Amino acid sequence: MAFTLPALPYAPEALDPHISAKTLSFHHGKHHAAYVNKLNELLQGKPLATKKLEDVIMESAQERGPVFNNAAQVWNHSFFWNCLSPKGGGAPTGVLADKIKATFGSVDKFKEDLKNAAIGQFGSGWAWLVQDQGQLKITKTPNAENPMIHGQTALFTVDVWEHAYYLDYQNRRPDFVQTVLDKLINWDFVAQNLK
């Protein structure tokens, strides 16, 4: 069965003014859709086409070719949409809040470190909060790469490819990331991802 583009978990205008409907319509409807279509095209008639997306990613990770790039980008974007919410922002609660404070010192320091990772990713890629052997960590990855191929569990991500922010923020990646962390981060989803 072919892979399909999941619907956005909110209306395209729901994140406005922080992320515009125009950005979301291109990012989800064109970029994310293109990764899905390309993946289906690449896997047509191949044994990998019948596997779960995560298995396709893991089995193509070593080669890092077009199958990996498109499969990982499909997964990364589906994950990213869920990391955002029109009711996002604010502060984490419960176990997640305790772990963030224990690891980074404070929620503000977590945001600062995540933002620095996002700014420090040269060119296209992603910044992540992950769980690695039970420990929270901030990482960044180039292009399509993601935490699962490093044996880590993704808790949160922000897309720092230019297509994620250029229409709304032009070259101001730091402002985009700060806005995501202050206004859009879906802490409930992040907490659900804890192992």
CB of 94 to Mn ion, least distance (A): 30
| Nearest one of 84, 83, 80 to 146, comparing CA atoms | 80
Residue number of the CB atom closest to Mn ion: 159
Residue 168 interacting with Mn ion (CB under 5 A): no
Least Å from the CB of residue 130 to Mn ion: 18
Please work out the total of residues on this chain that contact Mn ion, with binding judged by CB under 5 A: 2
- Tally helices (H) and strands (E) across the chain: 9, 3
Distance CA 11, CA 148 (A): 29
> Which 148-167 positions form the footprint of Mn ion (CB under 5 A)?
159, 161
The residue length of the chain stands at 195
**Residue 40 exposed, middle or buried by CB count within 10 Å (0-12, 13-18, 19+):** middle
Residue at 77: amino acid letter? H
Beta carbon of residue 61, minimum distance to Mn ion (angstroms, whole number): 19
Question: Which residue's CB is nearer to Mn ion, number 35 or number 110?
Answer: 35
Least separation in angstroms between residue 160's CB and Mn ion is: 9
The contact set with Mn ion (CB under 5 A) reads 159, 161
